[in-house]
């Protein structure tokens, strides 16, 4: 049962609807001149009352932090919403009767109001029943405005949902081509691109804490899309993962075979190619039909046999024979494969080379979390004292307050590490960890941690990975080879695969171009579309259809999203935001670090009044001088100011206080 604080009284509900009504009518005042609008509603009319309680909705929360809020509905509400979604509204819902009063003389202002309500309803994930109640109030007080009775008509909700039984569950197939077309419509930049490269993600998503029900979506992402927004190719729902991987993949494999000849859309021809599969290790093993990552021949990149040491499987060899795409298709090492072949062999992809080792799962949730566990709960020789844990935790919390706005999560204590998200492990590894651990973690362990920090920082950097990828690979090799010396027999799957990470960077570019963070964020949003426990798949299909219907409202045909905005208070591009506020005002230009004092725009050209940090010192010298990576300790600034333009900026810098100075890192993870 949900907490009582999540359940609103009828009086609070009336206030909630009144607030939305007042907001909509206030907006109408700005766009109509021929209507007299009453801007106050003293009480919700009886005909518009709604008994369903409004759940708490937090657009920033992650899916595994949400409770089963749907239980906040009382028994009467549940009976009204069971079976077909929103069936309690079916007596009022008719796709044609909503057109009453429509005429060719509808004003543009009416259309704008409807579009604004659509965008608001989708952005706030407003239930259909609440939206219909709002429309009823608006229709009463704005009789001359053309608004439908039912929220489903406004959002063009489909009246039926096609679901097929497959692989032990239910599935709806949206299609690769449909997803590509939608992204082309939303982002006109893609219209000038003739070859589109897709990243494919497959992962499981638990839906409720009280049930085994789960989604297994197939997601796609176009690498040429600067917004990097995933789209749903297929959505599977069941009480376990699909029982048959080949049946689960069959529609996707069939369509990719058809798209091998290309896609014609809006008089343009596009070649569609799969660039990479970005999945965690269990999902890769599932779709490739190979042994799991914890098996003796579980490494997907080399043929070595694991060794069972101290109750865990280790991969101690760092120089084993590498697997190839040809070896995989020929199944030269039968112990690596399960019986049968993967359906993905029917399309033209490399079953080894195009399945990347995901940075989020492998490094952040794998190696970094393992290191912290070893420091806190590992064998006695690797543990640090309780006092050291307190010192490091206090530093992390303090340092987190100075992170730029690109960091959605600030620092938390090591004592909460079991609740850390992948982004927090990433922040710890790339930015706050080297400062928080300095002179607290034993020197041998600290230097060993710096090996990982330096190597991953290079592989994440858009600039450094081009020149120092081989160096980063060697540093990771040293890190893995020294891991058992310091921590014992813990060279498990994740630690071992660090030696294979640089090969992916050579093929695909820096790690942020192929990690699972965009897909993981999309999964959280996908889960929030579920409003009740029944027919979860049908609900999400309808919500995604509604969103696709308003995409053209949000971005009209022929218009492009502005990728660059500037004002006197801030400057925003597609990768970061700059301002004069502390934490967001440090930049790098030609290896020189500046602090922004003022942002100004002249004739459409943005320029920055800056002051230069006169002296840069290295923060560490092992395994490399940190200045070579762009990491520096700065303190004094030049008294004179200078002016630079937006084109001069190389990257935004992360400035973290250290004693009386600042440690400056390049913002590499975006």
641-655 pLDDT, tens digit per residue, is 999 988 888 999 999
In 613-650, the DSSP E strands lie at 616-617, 632-634, 642-645
Whether pLDDT at 325 is above 50: yes
Tokens of 316: 């101690």
Instruction: Give 340's pLDDT tier (boundaries 50, 70, 90).
Output: very high
**Closest to 521 (Cα-Cα) out of 397, 409, 370:** 409
Average pLDDT over residues 536-556: 77
pLDDT at 602: 79
pLDDT the model gives residue 43 = 38
pLDDT score, position 508: 95
Quote the pLDDT of residue 16: 62
Which pLDDT score, from 0 to 100, does residue 351 have? 97
Report the pLDDT value the prediction gives residue 13, as an integer from 0 to 100.
57
Q: Is the pLDDT of residue 190 over 90?
A: no
Most confident of 39-53, 398-412, 458-472: 458-472
What is residue 490's predicted lDDT score, i.e. its pLDDT?
Answer: 94
Interior/surface letters 607-642, b for 16+ CB within 10 angstroms, e for the rest? bbebebbeebeebbeebbebbebbbbbbeebeeeee
Tell me the mean pLDDT in the region 110-125.
86
Window from 150-154, 547-551, 613-617 with minimum mean pLDDT: 547-551
Structural contact between residues 423 and 517, judged by C-beta atoms closer than 8 angstroms: yes
pLDDT of residue 123: 85
**pLDDT, mean of residues 136-148:** 89
Residue 33: pLDDT above 80? no
Task: Say if residue 339's pLDDT is above 60.
Answer: yes
Q: Is the pLDDT of residue 492 over 90?
A: yes
The contacts of residue 333 (CB under 8 Å, 6+ apart) are 297, 303, 323, 327
pLDDT, tens digit, for every residue of 569-595? 788 876 788 988 888 999 999 889 999
- Of 96 and 108, more confident: 108
The tens digit of pLDDT for each residue in 236-289 reads 999 999 999 999 999 999 999 999 999 999 889 999 999 999 999 999 999 999
The pLDDT-based confidence of 201 (bands split at 50, 70, 90) is very high
463 burial level (CB within 10 Å; 0-12, 13-18, 19+): middle
Q: What is the mean pLDDT of residues 505-526?
A: 94
Determine the pLDDT at residue 631.
Answer: 95
% of the chain beyond a pLDDT of 70: 81
Mean pLDDT, range 311-335, rounded to an integer = 95
pLDDT digits (tens, 9 = 90+) for 430-449: 999 999 999 999 999 999 99
CB 561 within 8 A of CB 195: no
The whole-chain average pLDDT of the chain stands at 84
Burial class (CB within 10 angstroms; exposed 0-12, middle 13-18, buried 19+) of 179: buried
> Scanning the structure block, which residue is given the tokens 């219909």?
132
Q: Which long-range contacts (CB under 8 A, 24 or more apart) does 435-444 make?
A: 435/395, 435/399, 435/656, 435/658, 435/663, 436/392, 436/395, 436/396, 436/399, 437/392, 440/384, 440/388, 440/391, 440/392, 441/375, 441/384, 441/388, 441/392, 442/384, 444/486
pLDDT number for residue 168: 94
Q: Express each pLDDT in 17-27 by its tens digit.
A: 567 656 655 65
Whether pLDDT at 157 is above 90: no
Neighbour count for residue 308 (Cβ, 10 Å): 10
Query: Residue 2: which pLDDT band, with cuts at 50, 70 and 90?
Result: very low
44-82 confidence digits (pLDDT tens): 333 333 333 323 333 333 434 333 333 333 333 333 333
What is the reported pLDDT for 258? 96
Counting residues of the chain whose pLDDT is more than 90, the rounded percentage is 62
């Amino acid at each position: 049962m949900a907490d009582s604080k999540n359940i609103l009284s009828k009086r609070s509900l009336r206030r909630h609807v009144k607030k939305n009504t007042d907001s909509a009518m206030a907006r109408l005042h700005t766009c109509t001149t021929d209507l007299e609008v009453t801007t106050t509603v003293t009480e919700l009319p009886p005909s518009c009352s709604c008994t369903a309680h409004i759940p708490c909705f937090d657009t920033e929360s992650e899916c595994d932090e949400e409770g089963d809020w749907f239980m906040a509905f009382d028994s009467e509400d549940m009976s009204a919403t069971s079976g077909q979604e929103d069936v309690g509204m079916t007596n009022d819902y008719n796709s044609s009767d909503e057109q009453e009063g429509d005429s060719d003389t509808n004003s543009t202002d009416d259309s704008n109001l409807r579009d604004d309500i659509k965008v608001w309803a989708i952005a706030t994930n407003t239930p259909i029943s609440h939206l219909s109640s709002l429309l009823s109030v608006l229709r009463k007080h704005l009789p001359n405005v053309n608004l439908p009775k039912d929220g489903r008509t406004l959002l063009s909700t489909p009246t039926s949902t096609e679901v097929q039984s497959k692989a032990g569950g239910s599935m709806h197939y949206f299609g690769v081509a449909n997803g590509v077309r939608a992204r082309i419509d939303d982002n006109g930049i893609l219209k000038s691109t003739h070859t589109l490269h897709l990243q494919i993600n497959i992962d499981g998503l638990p839906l409720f804490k009280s049930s085994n029900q789960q989604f297994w979506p197939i997601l796609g992402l176009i690498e040429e899309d600067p917004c990097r927004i995933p789209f749903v190719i297929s959505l599977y729902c069941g009480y376990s993962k699909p029982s048959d991987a080949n049946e689960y993949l069959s529609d996707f494999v069939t369509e990719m075979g058809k798209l091998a000849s290309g896609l014609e859309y809006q008089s343009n021809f596009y070649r569609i190619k799969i660039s990479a599969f970005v999945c965690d290790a269990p999902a890769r093993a599932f779709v490739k039909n190979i042994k799991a990552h914890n098996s003796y021949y579980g490494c997907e990149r080399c043929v070595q046999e694991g060794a069972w040491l101290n109750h865990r499987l280790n991969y101690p060899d760092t120089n084993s024979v590498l697997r190839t795409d040809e070896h995989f298709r020929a199944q030269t090492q039968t112990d690596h494969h399960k019986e049968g072949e993967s359906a993905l062999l029917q399309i033209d992809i490399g079953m080894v080379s195009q399945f990347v080792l995901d940075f989020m799962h492998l490094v952040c949730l794998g190696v970094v979390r393992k290191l912290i566990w070893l420091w806190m709960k590992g064998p006695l020789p690797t543990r640090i004292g309780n006092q050291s844990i307190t010192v490091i935790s206090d530093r992390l919390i303090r340092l987190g307050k100075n992170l730029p706005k690109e960091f959605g999560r600030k620092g938390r204590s090591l004592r909460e590490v079991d609740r850390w998200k992948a982004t927090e492990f990433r922040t710890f590894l790339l930015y706050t960890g080297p400062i928080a651990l300095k002179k607290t973690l034993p020197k041998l362990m600290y230097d060993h941690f710096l090996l990982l920090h330096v190597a991953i920082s290079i592989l994440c950097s858009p600039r450094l990975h081009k020149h120092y990828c081989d160096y980063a690979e060697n540093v990771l090799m040293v890190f893995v080879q020294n891991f058992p010396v310091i921590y014992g027999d813990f060279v498990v799957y994740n630690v071992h695969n660090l030696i294979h990470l640089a090969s992916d960077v050579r093929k695909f570019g820096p790690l942020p171009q192929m990690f699972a963070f965009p897909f993981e964020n999309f999964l959280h949003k996908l889960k929030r579309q579920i409003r009740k426990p029944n027919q979860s798949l049908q609900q999400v299909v309808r919500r995604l259809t509604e969103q696709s219907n308003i995409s053209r409202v949000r971005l009209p045909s022929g218009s492009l999203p502005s990728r660059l905005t500037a004002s006197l208070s801030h400057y925003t591009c597609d990768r970061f935001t700059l301002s004069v506020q502390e934490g967001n005002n440090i930049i790098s230009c030609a290896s020189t670090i500046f602090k922004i004092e003022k942002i100004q725009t002249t004739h459409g050209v943005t320029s920055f009044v800056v002051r230069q940090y006169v002296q840069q010192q290295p923060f560490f010298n092992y395994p490399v001088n940190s200045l070579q990576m762009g990491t520096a300790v700065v303190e004094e600034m030049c008294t004179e100011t200078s002016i630079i333009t937006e084109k001069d900026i190389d990257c935004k810098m992360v400035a973290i206080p250290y004693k009386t100075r600042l440690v400056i890192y390049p913002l590499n993870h975006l």
